[in-house]
Amino acid sequence: MALISYLTQIQFDFGAIALLPEECQRAGIRHPLLVTDAGVRAAGVLQRAQDALGPAGTAVFDGTPSNPTEAAVRAAVGLYQAHGCDGLVAVGGGSSIDLAKGVAIAATHPGPLTSYATIEGGSARITDRAAPLIAVPTTAGTGSEVARGAIIIVDDGRKLGFHSWHLMPKAAICDPELTIGLPPTLTAATGMDAIAHCVETFLSAAFNPPADGIALDGLARGWAHIERATRDGGDREARRQMMSASMQGALAFQKGLGCVHSLSHSLGGANPRLHHGTLNAVFLPAVVAFNAGAESVQRERRLERMAHAMGLPAAADVAPALRDMNARLGLATGLAAMGVERSMFSRIISGAMADHCHKTNPRLASADDYRAMLEASM
């Protein structure tokens, strides 16, 4: 049985931030907690949201870490309760949006956050009591503004997924203006994250033709514009196309992701200082090469279709092109350059095989397969 759902409202345009009060009213949010990070505040982007909200935009949590943690969720819940908030507005990248989703659970549900994690059977425990959320992305990468899930490092060090339709933002305000001036390295890393979402969801064997079409179009947009956006942060058309690629990747990944994210989640939990998008970029070539042998990928000529969207001559060119793109963007071209050592492999593999993305890869990976992908990514 295929479940195909596209359930949230998206406001997409330059200047869309002005619609924030309207969307809060529609969602029934009168006293929001704004969830962001120190960088977004320092860049003046948070102020634009506060200016739009007026007096309603005074309660702010700006302590989101680069990889959201259960401890940060608790701190934000304290502010949420102290200010008598009735909803959330996340202004930032995927970390801030995911942290806000954690707050949406923890502020309204009893018990430890871990008990609501997907691999702990917690999805069914997340109810419609979850606090309403509006997401305002300031990067073009995770697409969390249109996704039902969040990734949070819990107290025991695991990087876990939390998934429920009750976590879907009531509205996504996608304003490409907010990404202008994003530093080149962050533009590249978040852009490759968006591309990874489009690639992995398109390769997933699950039956969801609308998701396939959205992912393939998102890949074409992202691939054609990521270098422009990285090279010239003020290129408005490139910024618009990258924000669309990011949104499309997440609209599609309800279909499922795969080994790229299993490995990234596991390694990111082991070393939270590593950027998720950069990890995805590094793992993509090896995982695409591994998935080339999947029966569904071959039967449906998925690599050939991806090559066409990327303007490449043949399916065999996809994995090398991904590796070359990382180098052209100035991203790390291997795990060794990021400080990853082979002594970590066993822990990474164990986490990857337990991750919620492991089983939706088009080709089920063994521990030896994961070890080979890690070696190929060094």
Residue ranges of domains in the chain: 9-178, 184-376
Phi and psi at residue 224, in whole multiples of 5°?
-75, -20
Computed over every residue of the chain, the mean pLDDT equals 94
Write out pLDDT tens, residues 240-285: 999 999 999 999 988 899 999 999 999 988 888 888 899 999 999 9
Write out pLDDT tens, residues 205-214: 999 999 999 9
Query: Does residue 4 register a pLDDT over 60?
Result: no
Average pLDDT over residues 151-177: 94
Residue % of the chain over a pLDDT of 70: 98
Q: What is the pLDDT of residue 6?
A: 66
Average pLDDT over residues 40-66: 93
CATH architecture, domain 184-376: Up-down Bundle (1.20)
For the record, the structure tokens of 356 come out as 């919620």
Beta strands 9-12 and 171-174 are parallel
Q: What is the pLDDT of residue 5?
A: 52
Q: What is the pLDDT of residue 272?
A: 84
Residue with tokens 């990327």: 310
pLDDT confidence band for 345 (50 / 70 / 90): very high
Write out pLDDT tens, residues 69-123: 999 999 999 999 999 999 999 999 999 999 999 999 999 999 999 999 999 999 9
The torsion of the CA quartet 342, 323, 196, 118, rounded to 10 degrees, works out to: -10
Q: Which of 121, 237, 106, 255 is nearest to 180 (CA)?
A: 237
pLDDT confidence band for 1 (50 / 70 / 90): very low
Could you give the 3-state DSSP secondary structure of residue 86? coil
Whole-angstrom CA distances from 235 to 174, 182, 225, 226 are: 16, 11, 10, 11
CATH number for the domain running over 9-178: 3.40.50.1970
